[in-house]
Structure 1
């Protein structure tokens, strides 16, 4: 204690300086939080603009993404599998598909894409779907 008395410290000035430093630190934290929130919001808007909106209607022919693990993947082998027909679209992002045998199952909307075959008309697409020409 005698060392502090020898230094002749002013306890009031030291405590007010400490309070001012704490307030400045709080202001700095608040500004950093606001700028990070603004940055995250901006990046989210940019990312959402780049996402392709996938809209499907009943009767569309789609290809399904094959997510199975392949031990020896071929470079030119497509990840997209057989042709399926959309039978029902749910509002929460699921789509019900039907294969040629009539078996129905649900998948996530992100796992399918619309079939853009080079067949001339819708009738030919449907015929190819049911006759296994595609």
Structure 2
């Protein structure tokens, strides 16, 4: 029998990386909340949260894959001499996932490193978009 290990949200580390990049916590659709387990040790639980998130000390915003994909621009101009529109494209390989930035042809401008999950690829793509100033500034602090 095949065991599925579906990741449903950014990990705590990926969430912290997005926050360090300046992504607004309010764009998150989930939250990790620290609660006490039966043995008295803290434990992180993933929960739904309202979009007007105001995180407390025991909370870390988290993003689902659909939410991360919503944050990505549909298209943006090329920074080359031939200004043509490009779009991000998530590609699955046997060894992992990556985003490529392509025109509506197979002409790719750039790609992220192959990552272990689509979440890691989204975080890499958002980092690249922020560096190039293509990420929607409404989603940044």
Structure that is richer in helix per residue: 1
TM-score (norm 2): 0.23
Q: Whose RCO is larger (CA < 8 A, sep 6+)? A: 2
| Structure of greater Rg | 1
TM-score (norm 1): 0.24
Structure that is richer in strand per residue: 2
